Structure 1
Amino acid sequence: MKKNQLVKWMSQKQVTIPALLLEHYTELGLNEHELMALLHIQSFINEGDEFLTPMQLSERMTLTHEECTKLLSKLIRSQLLSLEKKSDETGILYEAYSLEPLWIRFIELLDQKEHQTSQHESSELEGKLYKQMEQEFGRPLSPIEGETLSMWLDQDQHQPELIFAALKEAVISGKLNFRYIDRILFEWKKNGIRTTDQARAHSEKFRNQTQTRKSNKEPVQSDRVPGFSC
């Protein structure tokens, strides 16, 4: 076989392995032998052989027939491999291996890790928010203020970034108190403000309108929330 033909043949004989699986397979409870066995099973399935025998698996690995038998049984018990009943075009039943349980468990693991990362980042951001609040107020937050801040995050589901933005608006307006910040957040939520960019644009629009009114010597209510009419 010529070199270019060999390269083409090898490129067609591939088993796709997600890089994340190589990084996290131990978190699924897999060891190297079990991972390699699953990859061999996938290879057999790709080649049209959905039910390899322990002997076939042993021929591709450094394990005995008996060890491969135990390994396959363990993978099934661990719900990382399933043995399903299928039927061909003539209606004849046959058994086939499926790696669907592995991929389901793997996706669940990734979702869990993503959730944990999100919680960790949220916790860090919440801590920074408390610290920023205390810095702007120049004092520790009172128990009631701390409870209000927790309610904004947990009950009202305000994003920490928007609370930061509302705090800045309160500072700019010279009305640094929790009641005023709460009004800003309430109006933003009522008007569908979900991002800091939207909040910034809304506030800039309000300030421009306020400046125009002042230029025209129109009275401006001093207690209005930036970006909204009260």
Structure 2
Amino acid sequence: MEQKELVMQWMDEGMVSVPQVLLMNYRKLNVSEVELVLLLQIFAFKQKGHHFPTFEELANQMTISASDCAVLIKKLMQQQLITIEQGDSTGYESYSLKPLWKKLAESMLQQSRQSALQQAMSEEQDLYSLFEQEFGRPLSPLECETLAIWIDQDHHDSVIIKAALREAVISGKMNFRYIDRILFEWKKQGIETLEQARDYGQRFRKQQSSPEQVQRSKKAVHFYNWLEQ
């Protein structure tokens, strides 16, 4: 057979686009390599319009027997990874991979939630460490509780809490009541990003550093006193 004819034959056979998510996550569904290939063979047959290949047809594409295919198909159905559907109009049976895609989606969603939880826990731990570093001592139980309330109840982003801590450090007022007032004021003003917090603080410092304020304070350095608001 000439090379041109061979290439044309390959093209006539078509191509199977394998979902990357399946290759990356099949082990988490307790699917073995042989079962994976069987699923891919079913997927390939369906893409060609053959929705219910026989055990013999599947086995011919693999290195296992038709009886082994039957056993694996039964196992995959018990694992609720595939089902056999009855056609509404044609009446023909067909394999459905919808349960497989559903389980993959659920697995990915669970991974995403777990990753987000781990990231949140890491950020929270970093936040506690930062506060202890700036305060130069371990936080008291009441301070730890206050910090937890800012995160869990008030839903302040860790970046905003760090910005409020920085504001307190700049102002030389290292206490939780002062930081809590900053967070309250920022939330009231709709401040949700670090850039907004910086701009807001700079505006007030400029007001405090106006010529009238400087002359009245004899060039003393002023910072915005959040507790007076």
TM (norm. structure 2) is 0.87
Q: Which runs of 5+ in 2 are unaligned?
A: none
**Match of 1:61, SS?**
coil
Give matches, 1:42-121, under 5 Å. 42-87=43-88, 91-121=89-119
Cα deviation code 1:62-82 (max 9, x no counterpart): 111111011111111111112
- Count of residues in Structure 1 that have an aligned counterpart in Structure 2: 224
After superposition, the Cα gap between the structure-2 partners of 1:152 and 1:58, relative to the gap in structure 1 and judged at 3 Å, is: same
C-alpha distance in 2 between matches for 1:177 and 1:9: 77
C-alpha distance in 2 between matches for 1:101 and 1:213: 71
After superposition, the Cα gap between the structure-2 partners of 1:4 and 1:164, relative to the gap in structure 1 and judged at 3 Å, is: farther
| Aligned position for 1:125 | 123
| Aligned position for 2:226 | 224
C-alpha distance in 2 between matches for 1:218 and 1:79: 78
After superposition, the Cα gap between the structure-2 partners of 1:222 and 1:165, relative to the gap in structure 1 and judged at 3 Å, is: closer
On the 8 A contact 2:208/2:223 being kept in 1, the answer is: no
Amino acid at match of 2:92: Y
**Match of 2:87, SS?**
strand
Amino acid at match of 2:136: G
Q: Which moved more, 1:211-220 or 1:75-84?
A: 211-220
After superposition, the Cα gap between the structure-2 partners of 1:75 and 1:214, relative to the gap in structure 1 and judged at 3 Å, is: farther
**Match of 2:209, SS?**
helix
After superposition, the Cα gap between the structure-2 partners of 1:14 and 1:192, relative to the gap in structure 1 and judged at 3 Å, is: farther
After superposition, the Cα gap between the structure-2 partners of 1:5 and 1:137, relative to the gap in structure 1 and judged at 3 Å, is: farther
Give aligned-pair identity as a percent.
43
TM (norm. structure 1) is 0.87
Amino acid at match of 1:156: D
C-alpha distance in 2 between matches for 1:184 and 1:7: 70
Q: CA deviation at 1:9?
A: 5.7
| Aligned position for 1:14 | 15
C-alpha distance in 2 between matches for 1:4 and 1:185: 71
CA RMSD after TM alignment: 2.5
| Aligned position for 2:169 | 171
After superposition, the Cα gap between the structure-2 partners of 1:8 and 1:216, relative to the gap in structure 1 and judged at 3 Å, is: farther
Amino acid at match of 1:157: H
